[in-house]
Structure 1
Amino acid sequence: MVDLRHAPARLLVADDNKVNRLLMTRSLELQGHSVRCAENGRIALEMLRRDAFDLMLLDMEMPEMTGFEVLEHLTADVKLRDLPVIVTSSLEGVADIARCIELGAEDYLHKPVNAVLLKARIGASLEKKRLRDQQKEMVRRFATSEVAQDLQQSGFALGGRRVLATVMFCDIRGFTSLVESQPPEETIELLNTYYTLMFDAINGHGGVVNQMIGDGLMAIFGAPLPLPDHGAAAVRAALDMVEMVELLNVERTAANKAAIRIGVGVASGEMVAGYTGTHQRATYTCIGDTVNLAARLEEHTKLAKRTILIDPATRLALEGRIVVDSLGPASFRGKAAPVEVYAVAAAAIG
């Protein structure tokens, strides 16, 4: 197993004393690290925002921008706040040391710095950073980029907030029969291809896929990050999804496999969006009457024989930019009054 504490890293040394920079650089390069230097805090910040570093060694007393000011800027920058910083300074007051730690410094070493101690602290800090990077990668792998960004900016907390957004539900028609007619390996291959195409269409219009159950999926447009014109974005994504399925069917027909069809329900309005579950296992989702209506519209595509159905709020958001057909009012489970249903004209089921 590789010892992460002694793996090479890209380090930035910020110190206004030229001799200190040279001595520190030589010591760190002998340990195998790649080292660059900045003669003051302002230059150090510019370098951090321009290039990627694994750790910074920061002096406190520098011209133009002190080490304290550098730490304050790092704390306020979402992209840099997790960078490990080891303070190397001749300041000895407990208040100054405490302030550095409160501003996010990983450690504090007095000058002149003991080389053995510095090596150990750098190794420990780099190991912590790699663990944090692995956690971020896991979040990016199992959550959408929008959710990952929301977590990074706002942190994790169970609960939700009211948002105006658009919800989409989609599934494959006759999927159960299709599963029974082919080997499991073919079903897995189909689902992987199907989800790849659907994700591409949804993400391409700013949507977030937050649930996948069997052949069905749920997507949100407008949360966790705001999305202008979310209703139209969802409908355009649905049209792209239909087009991609048609292209997939060309390949399936050529391979003597059954074509697939999808049904899509889209609804816009107020909902509560946030993290639900427990602190050990949670998911980002949304709930509310709008969400239920989108699910009912997706189910209604089977009866209406239309591929994409939308609610009045989504139709209003389109402002005539996409042609829709009025199918009249329909009664849905959980709705006290009938709802006007509209079908996107370019997506009729053949």
Structure 2
Amino acid sequence: MPNESDEFDELLENLRPNFRCLKPLKEQLVDSSDPYPNGGEKEVSILFVNLYGVERLTVQMEVETRVELFNHYCGVMVEPIFNHRGTLDKYIDSTIMAVFNSPLPLENHALMAIKAALAMRDRLPEINSSWFPEEHHPLRIGIGINTDRVFCGNVGSPQGMEFTAVGHGVNVANHLSQQGQQYGCDILIGQKTYESCAEYVQVRERDSTQLKPEGNPFKVYELIGLNA
């Protein structure tokens, strides 16, 4: 017999296609000059945002109320992605993945991803004040951005294909989004992301990290903000 958690997961799964339709991929590709229409390797900036504290804060909520909260959260978080010309790639539980510079070309894609992340951080208090106005430990987010060459294109089976980005660089972005808690910060960016727009951003260098067993150590930076 399914429990409440299973029911909640099923409801979220049913919601995700609706969010994906906020800006249909087909509309973005009309008149596109993208040189990789069928997929290929290209440099992109990948953004992951993880939501923390949701289980603790929603354990007493009805399933429908929890879905309403998730609905609100996703609506607020994806808006900066679209405003900065990114593509909403997928939802994975309470994690959102976005890609900048695929499928459509985007100049300064690393900087655009950074601006989207800062806008997400600025919008989080709006969610907390609406849902948890008296909570001393409200919802938190962890954002990771990595710039790398990865495969962008259709992935899946003939029964179901999905346009997405895959590769080590994607895994690095996901890793960074989870590492922020270790450093007590909410946005971490990879070395190439920083180097792509160093003149525009304020950062604090953290230590080096790596994904085992693959990859070499790389520098990690906490994103403070934009230069005035």
What TM-score range do you get, normalising by the shorter chain? 0.7 to 0.9
Contact 2:113–2:145 under 8 Å retained in 1:
yes
Q: What's the CA shift string for 1:18-59, capped at 9, x where partnerless?
A: xxxxxxxxxxxxxxxxxxxxxxxxxxxxxxxxxxxxxxxxxx
- Alignment of 1:231 with 2:131, yes or no, is no
Q: Is the 8 A contact 1:165 1:222 kept in 2?
A: yes
Q: Specify the alignment match of 2:62 in structure 1.
A: 183
Match of 1:26 in 2: none
Q: Which residue in 2 is equivalent to 1:293? A: 172
Q: 1:52-83, CA deviations, whole angstroms, 9 ceiling, x for partnerless residues?
A: xxxxxxxxxxxxxxxxxxxxxxxxxxxxxxxx
Contact persistence 2:20–2:88 (CA under 8 A): no
User: In the TM superposition, what are the counterparts of 1:156-171 in structure 2 within 5 Å?
Assistant: 160-171=39-50
Alignment of 1:84-163 (within 5 A): 142=21, 144-150=23-29, 160-163=39-42
2:217 to 338, 342, 346: 338
1:169 and 1:294 in contact (8 A); partners too = yes
Give 5+ residue unaligned stretches, structure 2. 1-16
Aligned letter for 2:208? P
- Conservation of the 8 A alpha-carbon contact between 1:161 and 1:274: yes
Deviates most, 170-179 or 279-288? 170-179
Cα distance in 2, alignment partners of residues 194 and 142 from structure 1 = 16
Q: Identify which range, 214-223 or 179-188, moves more after superposition.
A: 179-188
SS in 1 for 2:199: coil
Q: Which residue of 1 aligns with 2:77?
A: 198
Change (3 A) 1:146 1:207: same
CA RMSD of aligned residues (A): 2.8
Unaligned runs of 5+ in 1: 1-137
- 1:284 and 1:143 map into 2 onto residues whose CA distance is 16
TM-score under structure 1 length normalisation:
0.54
> Given that residues 208 and 219 in structure 2 are in contact (C-alpha distance below 8 angstroms), is that contact kept between their aligned partners in structure 1?
yes
State how far apart, in whole Å, the 1-side matches of 2:83 and 2:89 are.
15
User: What SS class does the counterpart of residue 39 from structure 2 fall into?
Assistant: strand
Alpha-carbon distance in 2 for matches of 1:161, 1:319: 28
With over 3 angstroms needed to count, the CA separation of the structure-2 counterparts of 1:207 and 1:338, relative to structure 1, is same
Aligned residues of 1:199 and 1:209 also touching (Cα < 8 A): yes
Counterpart among 169, 174, 186 of residue 307 in structure 1: 186
Percent sequence identity over aligned pairs: 25
**Is the counterpart of residue 215 in structure 1 residue 94 in structure 2?**
yes
Residue 187 of structure 1 deviates from its aligned partner by: 1.3
> Cα distance 1:178–1:226, how it changes in 2: closer, same or farther (>3 A)?
same
Q: Which residue of 2 aligns with 1:242?
A: 121
Aligned residues: 208
Aligned to 2:196: 317
The TM-score, its normalising length taken from structure 2, stands at: 0.81
CA distance in 1, matches of 2:90, 2:109: 18
Structure 1 residue 255 displacement after superposition:
6.7
